Amino acid sequence: MGLDISYEAVAAEAYAHINSAGVGMGIGIQCDIATPTLVKHGSEKLKELFVRPTISGEKVACLGVSEVGGGSDVAALRTTARREGDEWVINGGKMWTTNGAQADWMCLLANTSNGDVHRNKSLFCLPMDTPGVAVHRVIEKMGMHASDTAEITFEDARIPYDYLIGEEGKGFTYQMQTFQNERIYIAAGTIAAMDRCMAATIEYTSQRKAFGKSILDNQYVHYKLAEFQTELECVRALYYKCIDDFIAGEDITPLATMLKLKSARLARQITDGCLQFWGGMGYTDDVLISKMHRDLRLMSIGGGADEVMLSILCKYMGISPDMR
């Protein structure tokens, strides 16, 4: 449709108004993380086979990047795709695969040669009903209960040669580019969820009475909420700048990385701080704030842990030890 990333961001904000963050996460994988590279670099055949039915909702997509022992270290992945005639033979496994238990196909990143770890990887469309592909287990998580997460294994799984997305050896680069979309998408939903968390907490604390006055009337409480709102607006400004710069065609890697880092950390502070103001009710499953507390905790882990974001920023700043 030729729409820019601002439409994706608005959709992510809307999904945050569903009382289960796992729904937005599943949709995000489907529309904004597993498919963009295929849309940009895939053949017309692959677009017809995989993009069109994914957009229409006939097929569910997942992304196969993280592996056992190497969640955020994409360069270190060990899954291989070896060419044999007109086929690729895939061996290995993927971990933390959102939508993995129900997906019809996977956007798979695998090693297709030896050598430089940033130039030996390629992306593929892998039908999940391919012989040799198995859902090893569905992972039980602390939050995001509406979103399935699976460990997937590959044992001599064969796919046609032309299921390769774009050029061989460009997979790592393609995936890094898509991660910028993902960081904006994650931040969009996280910011909107923090807005809801703040609004719900202000409403609750204004009505809940203790020691003859509302909880909100305590100076510490309303000062802390004002502080949270200030930080939230700063993150929102960075979020809007990332969108504007992305649309303008600029490299937003440093800013998107900062956005992912700061929005995730602020979500931890706001959900934990607000939950405290709910008292005992905040520790029950009866209220939304406890669900937000567990669901949004993922934001500092999924899509690149905080520590990985810091490592990327240090490299851009030229202060990483391996650059000095």
Residue 76's φ and ψ, nearest 5 degrees, are: -90, 5
Q: Are 288 and 275 in contact (CB under 8 A)?
A: no
Report angle CA 210, 212, 218 to the nearest 5 degrees: 65
Sign (positive/negative) of CA torsion 316, 317, 322, 324? Answer: positive
Q: Which residues neighbour 246 within 8 Å (Cβ) at sequence distance 6 or greater?
A: 4, 5, 180, 184, 252, 256
DSSP code at position 317: H
Catalytic member of 84, 182, 227, 250 = 182
**Burial, 57: exposed, middle or buried (Cβ in 10 Å; 0-12, 13-18, 19+)?**
exposed
Tell me if residue 26 falls in helix, strand or coil: helix
Q: Which run of H or of E encompasses 264?
A: helix 253-277
- Tokens 């509302």 found at: 214
Residues 171-183: b if buried by 16+ CB within 10 A, e if exposed: bbbbbebbbbbbb
**Residue-by-residue DSSP string for 35-97:** SHHHHHH--HHHIIIIIHHHHHTSS-EEEE--BTTBSS-GGG---EEEEETTEEEEEEEEEEE
Structure tokens at 324: 């000095």
182 is catalytic: yes
C-alpha distances in Å from residue 300, one per residue of 84, 266, 296, 297: 40, 10, 8, 6
Burial of 153 (C-beta count, 10 Å sphere; 0-12/13-18/19+): middle
**Which residues form the catalytic set?**
182
